[in-house]
Structure 1
């Protein structure tokens, strides 16, 4: 099936906040402004139709978007670089988010497996924002009618919010569209529904100045920030990851398989039972499998990068409702030989250590470093596998009044590895990753061979 012929856009419109909002310019934090975050977080949520008229669904979803943009009005603004080049800022004039309606001949079951190629589902979020600081809208929503369901594609500028923040907005947006089921929500009148945005918990908090550079007591030895270190390319690494050479994969790990991985780690380490997290076990297995399948030179340095939420790792903790980028990159690093030849517990230990390095001091070092060095503080791509944990965000609970989504995933499955929730199986995980086509069969054999 060709994505170019399978999706037809019916209409596109700008949806401004439904009530007047402040007109001003808001400064983004140093973490928000990093070069490697200047892309769009793109979610794809698949729902089954419930018999409701399409016009009614469209009407309430569009209205809810306008209402949700009142408390989250920066998402209706436009991002630009500050005149002094120090960081980014948002010009807030109620410009609006983009809402697109489309039709497609995909079916719900098409999303149970990986797409055939990286961009097969690209048109399910047809407005692709490639430069978020060139005046593009930071929020795009597309509702695409399928023969037996509906696909909701949502794109957020990563400069304005991280995964946690984006899903907090989605929860408000969805509850308003559904007419509300929680505190402060009611279907009685539109006025009462509008009031939902003021009663929604958590209330959105801007306060990006909290993550501005601050003086702090530097330790005698600085923390390791391996994510920014350059490594030698021994294998023309990036040429292996052009989109046309990648094949998307989708593998589900059920609870028993995850427990097998944990037991394997515990049996070859000094760790106590129940001390290995699902993230550590699964990400270690993915990283090791990926390295084996791609057959890197033994001395090639490899890194696993993953986001670490710092909301409760800084002192004081960030306020509830802070929806900016409250993340730093965890980095596990080793050589291809060590990663592939040593037990799985070795990779898990590196991941645990990377998580444990991130404390208040570590975060302050990152903030100061990206503030001072800006463009030069960009993670090197050579030898890198980037893993993003969407399974803990709550995407599987986002209900626009059509029930919970039956599939959750990225719009494009590429060289970023994404951990996803599985419908009706809260202890399972789906792993989506595009692998160089020449290695995909080997990867799939290895990733499913849980021992």
Structure 2
């Protein structure tokens, strides 16, 4: 669909400081937080309709005041990152300088953006304070850690865009903070329902040994990494693929019997899309290709030390499965699934995340490798869509943009069925091949023969 053209008039940015004075101190980030690959700003957008119950209320003023209250409890987000040398260790100087806030007005109604089901959100650049992806690496040092923009739409609805430094929070941490903002916006008295916990020391390297006790291919490039078939600088197109009840059942039926009950919905979809994507990009048979995905440490039974409730830092490791492209193409879906499930089990082993922290210190905090790699994470249960600042649940709440890395999002198809959306971004020829690969992969189970399955029948979602 054609992107609409709208005019957004932004007020001058201002710094919102905590509502009351907060401690001045230095807080070291963990050795998971400060790796090179997380030194960037995550962005997200919420779309809210007009609410009769909030008639006359200014959403920008409401969210601005709520932000000031939330920063009292999350005061490191009002500070600035400093880098110590040697070792490139990141610390937060809790200066209380504040977060950037912009109030804006648009000449369009929310409906003009269309039925937004996933990224990229139309006109997202107009709803974010800064260009998406503009600040990475050393650029996170000394800059504000949080940016909010609230854009009032002509219809009475509004758009809330945010950008937050990934070194401070993962997806669960971002949702926890935004939920705190939403509670203050709704007038919930006192402290946030879930008090924030810093506790970054639980993911710091063991200084005495710094032992790297696990294999971590995610930080090792594939051979001949420069021969990748796709890069962010290519002309890329977007498309989302929808997996509802029928699609997930079809994938489970394709799985080997011993994996059908062991494999989660994420496992099935991620392994399937890895295989389809690798085939669509037409890698040479001998090229090593990977799928890389997030394994969360929160709520894991028996983990020592346990991740405390309220922890909002990065609490995950990357799991990596790899295969020669020819093997992935020649062997059935169960091959890809077994590799992915096995990689997940390894990343969940006791000591794996600590080994990552030790690797960061020992090897200078390297960036994770992405060449010939399908990077994906599951945020279907993150609660991102449920943040309510007083105007009810958002029409859309999720990532602002899509990149070569992707997410599993809670969403729906054009018929209104709830399921999982997987946004993809590839060169146009590869995207056409990907649509056919997905149709071919699902078609045998859904309709008996690929030729009888239309793209709409197997759940493609249009953006």
What TM-score results when the alignment is normalised by the length of structure 2? 0.85
Distance 1:33 1:54, change over 3 A: farther
User: Is the 1:120–1:412 contact (alpha carbons within 8 Å) kept by the matching residues of 2?
Assistant: no
Distance 1:5 1:241, change over 3 A: farther
TM-superposed CA distance for 1:137, in Å, is: 1.0
**Residue 277 of structure 1 aligns with which residue?**
264
Distance 1:347 1:408, change over 3 A: farther
TM-superposed CA distance for 1:427, in Å, is: 5.6
Out of 126, 130, 134, the residue aligned to residue 135 of structure 2 is 130
**Residue 209 of structure 1 aligns with which residue?**
201
The 2-side partners of 1:326 and 1:55 are apart by 37
**Residue 435 of structure 2 aligns with which residue?**
444
The 2-side partners of 1:274 and 1:72 are apart by 40
TM-superposed CA distance for 1:147, in Å, is: 4.1
Out of 94, 97, 102, the residue aligned to residue 95 of structure 1 is 97
SS for the counterpart of 2:19 is coil
* 50-59 or 22-31, which deviates more: 50-59
SS for the counterpart of 1:164 is helix
What TM-score results when the alignment is normalised by the length of structure 1? 0.87
**Residue 388 of structure 1 aligns with which residue?**
377
Distance 1:57 1:292, change over 3 A: same
Counterparts of 1:313-324 in structure 2, within 5 Å, are 313=300, 314-324=303-313
Q: Deviations over 1:236-287 (max 9, x none)?
A: 316x32345111112222122112111211xxx1326433210001111111
Out of 386, 390, 394, the residue aligned to residue 405 of structure 1 is 394
The 1-side partners of 2:109 and 2:91 are apart by 39
Out of 291, 296, 310, the residue aligned to residue 304 of structure 1 is 291
* 32-41 or 226-235, which deviates more: 226-235
CA RMSD, Structure 1 to Structure 2 (Å): 2.7
**Residue 251 of structure 1 aligns with which residue?**
241
TM-superposed CA distance for 1:46, in Å, is: 1.8
SS for the counterpart of 1:70 is helix
**Residue 357 of structure 2 aligns with which residue?**
367
Out of 93, 111, 114, the residue aligned to residue 110 of structure 1 is 114
User: Is the 2:71–2:77 contact (alpha carbons within 8 Å) kept by the matching residues of 1?
Assistant: yes
TM-superposed CA distance for 1:142, in Å, is: 1.4
Distance 1:69 1:79, change over 3 A: same
Distance 1:248 1:146, change over 3 A: farther
TM-superposed CA distance for 1:150, in Å, is: 2.2
Out of 137, 141, 156, the residue aligned to residue 148 of structure 2 is 141
SS for the counterpart of 1:405 is coil
**Residue 81 of structure 1 aligns with which residue?**
83
TM-superposed CA distance for 1:309, in Å, is: 1.0
TM-superposed CA distance for 1:18, in Å, is: 0.7
The 2-side partners of 1:428 and 1:78 are apart by 39
Q: Deviations over 1:202-237 (max 9, x none)?
A: x11112122122279999x94321212221237731
The 1-side partners of 2:417 and 2:100 are apart by 32
TM-superposed CA distance for 1:418, in Å, is: 1.3
> Structure 2, unaligned stretches of length 5 or more?
446-463
The 1-side partners of 2:116 and 2:5 are apart by 20
User: Is the 1:255–1:428 contact (alpha carbons within 8 Å) kept by the matching residues of 2?
Assistant: yes
Out of 307, 311, 316, the residue aligned to residue 327 of structure 1 is 316
**Residue 68 of structure 2 aligns with which residue?**
66
The 2-side partners of 1:176 and 1:118 are apart by 26
Q: How many pairs were matched up?
A: 428
The 2-side partners of 1:317 and 1:4 are apart by 48
TM-superposed CA distance for 1:118, in Å, is: 9.5
The 1-side partners of 2:439 and 2:17 are apart by 47
> Structure 1, unaligned stretches of length 5 or more?
180-184, 186-192
